[in-house]
Amino acid sequence: MNDKSPEGIQPLTNSMITNEQQPTVIVPEPEDTGRRLDAVLAAHVDDFSRNRLQALIRAGQVQIGQRTVLEPKYRVSAGDTITLIVPEPEAAEPQPEDIPLTIVYEDDDLIVIDKPAGLVVHPGAGNPTGTLVNALIHHCGTSLSGIGGVKRPGIVHRIDKDTTGLLVVAKNDMAHQGLAAQFADHGKTGPLERAYKALVWGAPTAIKGTVDANLARSTANRQKISVLKTGGRHAITHWQVQERFGPQDEVPVASLIECRLETGRTHQIRVHMSHIGNPLIGDMDYGSGFRTKYNKFQEPLKSQLEEFKRQALHAGLLAFAHPRTQEFMKFESALPADFAGILESLRKI
Q: Which of 235, 242, 195 is nearest to 215 (CA)?
A: 235
Convert 238-282 into a string of H (helix), E (strand) and C (coil). Answer: EEEEEEEECCCCCCCCEEEEEEEECCCCCCHHHHHHHHCCCCECC
For residue 12, count CB atoms less than 10 angstroms from its CB and return exposed for 0-12, middle for 13-18, buried for 19 or more: middle
For residue 30, the 8-state DSSP code is G
Question: How large is the angle between the packed helices 37-44 and 50-58, nearest 10 degrees?
Answer: 130
> Which residues are tagged catalytic?
160
Please give the backbone phi and psi of residue 268, each rounded to the nearest 5 degrees, phi first. Answer: -55, -55
Start-to-end CA span in the chain (Å): 68
- Cβ-contact 252, 202 below 8 angstroms: yes
Burial of 16 (0-12, 13-18, 19+ CB in 10 A): middle
Prior bond to 28 cis, omega within 30? no
What residues contact 120, with CB distance under 8 A and at least 6 apart?
Answer: 127, 130, 131, 132, 161
Per DSSP, 78 falls in state: T
> Residue 100 contacts by C-beta under 8 Å, 6 or more apart in sequence?
135
